[in-house]
Amino acid sequence: MNALGAMVRRCIDGLVALVIAVAACSCAGLRPHSPPPEEAEPLVQIPAMPGVRTWGDEYSPEFQKDLIASVHQEEQSGLFRDGDTVSVLAISGGGGDGAFGAGLLCGWTAAGNRPNFKLVTGISTGALTAPFAFLGPAYDDKLKKVYTSITSKDIFKLKSIFGMLRTDAMTLNDSLSKLTTEYIDGKTLKDIAAEHAKGRRLYIGTTALDAQRPVIWNMGAIAASGHPDAPDLFRRIMIASAAVPVAFPPVYFTVEAGGRRYDEMHVDGGVSNQVFLYGPVLNPLAGAKELGFERPRRSLRVYVIRNAKIKPVWQPVRPIMRSIAPRSVSTLIKEQGIGDIFRIFVTTRRDGADFNLAYIPDELDTNRSDEFNNQVMNVLFDTGYRLARHGYRWQKGPPGFFPVEQHGKRG
């Protein structure tokens, strides 16, 4: 969602003309929208595909049940053995900075020690990376191509001023839809379904804007459902997760609750979280007890890729709206991302997992006026690749965190 700052600047540049146009004509042709009422939220499901989505801010009995089922699938497939360390990967948002995470994954493959992840989560640009990260090294070429060859023209197309007046965004997402269809083809979906059947899981996050709540989607379950609408739903979730509000149109999903159908408005998952693990949705310790074990049989290692710089970047701000607004948004996103990293860290402490964090090096120059500047994205990809190829030094805690014993020694 770092792309939002640049998109805000573009939006403001057209604001004066937009206001003049509004004064000249009335806003007509708005899309009808019938969101589920608040009291129906606990019942909301995708028609004919129950259990493939859940609210990301509360415990989910359905996803917990699926977690138990995944362990039984592991036993049948022989994917993991008792005593193995099971790895989980969380990929953040970051717009064009997602090229860093893509390069890191490809370099990790070249290093020869990239895990076969039990769970992969993705949000915003991380949602575009996550399916390829989930499928492993066989899909590295696709992953590299996405982040080293695309440009802004492949992501969005600005509407005319009058087109903006009659709809819900400044751009069309046709280009992103075409790109998603190209890369998430029938074979890719089939491969995701096959990995899901082995006991692995792929989650992508979006934001239900009316409810003001995060939604987590079980993408492997969708791919494996066999439902004729599954491919379209899968791709539209990816688009929704990356749909920066105002810049991109929201994605509307038909849902049902209490025997009635509604349409939910979904936008960029980064509105809710810059990166997520499984938070309150799952309880691995309770799952182990339900399986008859006092504690999980396997140790858990969590990897977090933050497609952004952690350290503040000084930049002079001009005293005009088109400079103040994007700078404020980018600062908000940076701080939100750090907060999300701390949330994941607390979860790993609760569940006895090993925490590992990667992020864009502070010294790397990533400034550009075009979020999807191909030259900068190639630099980001190459940097991530090089660092991982030679053995990335994962950070063992969130930024600014010092264990109690270290803090005591410092002072």
What are the residue numbers of the active site? 124, 268
Q: Amino acid identity of 384?
A: G
Q: Extract the tokens encoding 395.
A: 């950070």
Rounded CA gap, 297 and 86, in Å? 10
Q: What single string gives the DSSP state of each residue in 56-92?
A: TTS--HHHHHHHHHHHHHHHHHT-S-TTPEEEEEEE-
Helices assigned H by DSSP within 291-373: 321-350
Phi and psi, residue 354, nearest 5°: -90, 125
Q: Extract the tokens encoding 308.
A: 């952004």
Q: Extract the tokens encoding 99.
A: 């090229």
Bridge partner list, 306: 359
Cα-to-chain-centroid distance, residue 294: 33
Q: Amino acid identity of 32?
A: P
Rounded CA gap, 55 and 141, in Å? 33
Burial environment of residue 27 by CB neighbours within 10 A (0 to 12, 13 to 18, 19 or more): exposed
Bridge partner list, 255: 262
Cα-to-chain-centroid distance, residue 6: 19
Element (H, E) at 257: strand 251-257
State whether residue 167 is helix, strand or coil: coil
State whether residue 372 is helix, strand or coil: coil
Q: Extract the tokens encoding 178.
A: 């075409």
